[in-house]
Amino acid sequence: MALISVNDLTFTYEGSADPVLEHVTFHIDTDWKLGLIGRNGKGKTTLLNLFMGKYDHTGSITGIGRVDYFPYPVSEEDLNKTADELIERWKPQVESWQVMVQLNQIKMDAECLYRPFGTLSFGERTRVMLAVLFAAENEFLLIDEPTNHLDVHARTLIRDYLRTKKGFVLVSHDRDLLDAVCDHVLVLNRKSVDVQAGNFSSWWENKEREDAFAKAENEKHLKEIGKLKTAADRTGRWAIKSENSKIGFDPVKENDRSISTRSFIGAKTKKIQARVKAYEKRLDREIEEKEGLLQDIEQVTDLKLNPLAFHKEVLIRAQDLMLQYENAEAPLFEGIWFEIKRGGRYVLSGKNGCGKSSLITAILQRAAADQDGTADSSLRLSGTLDVASGLVISYVSQDTSYLRGSLHTYCEKQNLDESLFLALLRRLDFNREQFGKEMQDYSEGQKKKVLIAHSLLTPAHLYIWDEPLNYIDVFSRMQIEKMILSFHPTMLLVEHDVRFQEKVITERIILDDHHNVHARHR
């Protein structure tokens, strides 16, 4: 057990006007299971890299000791190597048997160490890397979003594994994972840093209570400031009027006044001016006490959506559907039966690689073929896949790699109203500074928000979102949940966030181990 102390830490990326972290001070223990929480772009991954010693900074980080970082880098060449070969570069101080012990704990066969890494699924790769990460002792481990792109089954295995460990920082936006695993949280607020014992839910409960108190205090101070300003203004006018009457008078209209009255008026004016100064001091004190009350309030602005009403109840129907890619040995799945009905919110569930994204591709191709007669011949299907004629679909891909260039150019290419688009990104917590950057320099969460904003600005009968919440911060997830529940769009989603599913999904289309897909009500 050791104490890591961060004192007055400030870091700014080269070429950036604003610091990512500014005068940050906190203390954490290397024995904790620490959840690192914050908005997209607030510096979570940057802080992990600072712990790794990658960047120069001002301020100090002491007591860090030996650290290791997940995920390990994997190049195209590495995909042809076995995990056992990659261990020598990832963590040269450990031996294969130590990794095998961890693999057993994470419920994975050691045989996977001797297969080409590229043949492993995303879930298998993640579990292998975590097994390597925890194979050594006396290290403080930095884990950056381990569950992105993983299905519910893989997430459950990782959650149960991490629950048995300690001595790590976990960056995640998965509320279920944070609640199950963490015993402390480190929160990068808007203007401050907060360290608390507990998990995400206990911290969020405390934050809601603290935010409510801060808002109430702010309102109280605002009212008092208003009263003081009114009183100071009124008393100030009295003082001016009294001072002006000190010199000069009309002996006809003021026959009871003599020159000796001047000293009396002067004394009276002095008392009034003293009262004005007292009001001003109280005003300054009230303003000072008000400052900072709302600096960390998460103002989650409501999002809007304009779904189109479709004239038919059934938008998509699949009957005994089989999908197979050209030259593939076996179909992705077969025997699919389901319907997408107006007003429903459906989630495609199943293990990684079962064909969820391919099913979405088939639907999009069928919709496009109905409009322009074209289709991708590499994806073959049999059975029935009917997409209603005239159906307008708004699609969010899980791929963000093609986002390059400026937002201005993006809006021109996509025929989007730039002012509305930027306003929507502001609601999704984009800083104005981000508008001047190239999209390839955005964080993955910010890239996802670009795609979601595009979709929200596109009126549609059906919204198809493929893993939309990967890298999206917790606050924006709750914001999107609220929007969906308010506007009731018809949706088809691939999304593995359990909390999100519980809140917004009305029906599930489940691909089980026997390749039999069927719809289930929630």
Here the CATH number for the domain that contains residue 378 is 3.40.50.300
Residue 58 forms beta bridges with which residues?
10
Same-domain status, 214 and 184: no
Residue 414 tokens, joined:
């996509």
- Taking the C-alpha atoms of residue 126 and residue 347, their distance in angstroms, rounded to an integer, is 23
Same-domain status, 380 and 446: yes
**Domain membership flag for residue 303:** no
Q: Are 457 and 424 in contact (CB under 8 A)?
A: yes
- Taking the C-alpha atoms of residue 186 and residue 29, their distance in angstroms, rounded to an integer, is 11
Tell which of 166, 200, 234 closes a domain: 200
User: First and final CA of the chain: distance in angstroms?
Assistant: 45
Same-domain status, 122 and 57: yes
Tell which of 148, 172, 200 closes a domain: 200
Tally of structural domains, the chain:
3
**Domain membership flag for residue 213:** yes
- Taking the C-alpha atoms of residue 185 and residue 193, their distance in angstroms, rounded to an integer, is 10
Tell me the pLDDT of the chain (522 aa) as tens digits: 689 999 999 999 887 778 889 899 999 999 999 999 988 888 899 999 999 999 999 999 999 989 999 999 999 999 999 999 999 999 999 999 999 999 999 999 999 999 999 988 888 999 999 999 999 998 999 999 999 888 888 899 999 999 999 999 999 999 999 999 999 999 998 778 999 999 999 998 988 888 787 777 767 766 766 665 666 566 656 555 655 555 555 455 555 555 555 555 556 666 766 776 776 676 666 556 555 555 556 666 789 998 999 999 999 999 998 888 887 788 888 888 999 999 999 999 888 778 888 899 999 998 887 655 455 567 888 899 999 999 999 999 988 989 999 999 999 999 999 999 999 999 998 988 889 889 998 988 899 999 999 999 999 999 999 999 988 998 899 999 999 999 999 999 999 999 999 999 999 998 764 444 444 444
Q: Decide: helix, strand or coil at residue 348.
A: strand
**Domain membership flag for residue 340:** yes
Whole domain around residue 511: which residue ranges? 314-521
pLDDT of the residue at 95 = 93
Residue 506 tokens, joined:
């009305």
Please report the sign of the dihedral spanned by the C-alpha atoms of residue 89, residue 93, residue 96, residue 99: negative
Same-domain status, 195 and 211: no
Radius of gyration for the alpha carbons in the chain, expressed in angstroms and rounded: 31
Question: Of the candidates 505, 470, 483, which has an alpha carbon nearest to the alpha carbon of residue 349?
Answer: 505
Residue 175 tokens, joined:
């509320």
- Taking the C-alpha atoms of residue 227 and residue 366, their distance in angstroms, rounded to an integer, is 66
**Domain membership flag for residue 467:** yes
Same-domain status, 216 and 241: yes
Same-domain status, 58 and 81: yes
Same-domain status, 176 and 318: no
**Beta strand 393-396 with 462-466: parallel, antiparallel or unpaired?**
parallel
Instruction: Report the half-sphere exposure of 140 (CA within 13 A, side-chain side).
Output: 20
Q: Inter-axis angle of helices 200-244 and 261-290, to 10 degrees?
A: 170
- Taking the C-alpha atoms of residue 475 and residue 493, their distance in angstroms, rounded to an integer, is 20
Sheet with 21-29, side-by-side order of all strands: 21-29, 3-11, 58-62
**Domain membership flag for residue 295:** no
Question: Of the candidates 246, 235, 245, which has an alpha carbon nearest to the alpha carbon of residue 274?
Answer: 235
Cis peptide before 71 (omega within 30 of 0): yes
Q: Are 346 and 324 in contact (CB under 8 A)?
A: no
Same-domain status, 59 and 120: yes
- Strands (DSSP E) contained in 198-306 are none
Same-domain status, 131 and 273: no
- The CA distances from residue 272 to 226, 262, 282, 356, in Å, are 20, 15, 15, 77
Same-domain status, 272 and 376: no
- Taking the C-alpha atoms of residue 494 and residue 461, their distance in angstroms, rounded to an integer, is 18
User: For residue 273, what is the enclosing H or E element?
Assistant: helix 261-290
Same-domain status, 192 and 237: no
Residue 114, classified by CB atoms within 10 Å of its CB into exposed (0-12), middle (13-18) or buried (19+), is: exposed
Question: Of the candidates 189, 208, 196, which has an alpha carbon nearest to the alpha carbon of residue 42?
Answer: 189
- Taking the C-alpha atoms of residue 328 and residue 315, their distance in angstroms, rounded to an integer, is 30
Same-domain status, 84 and 124: yes
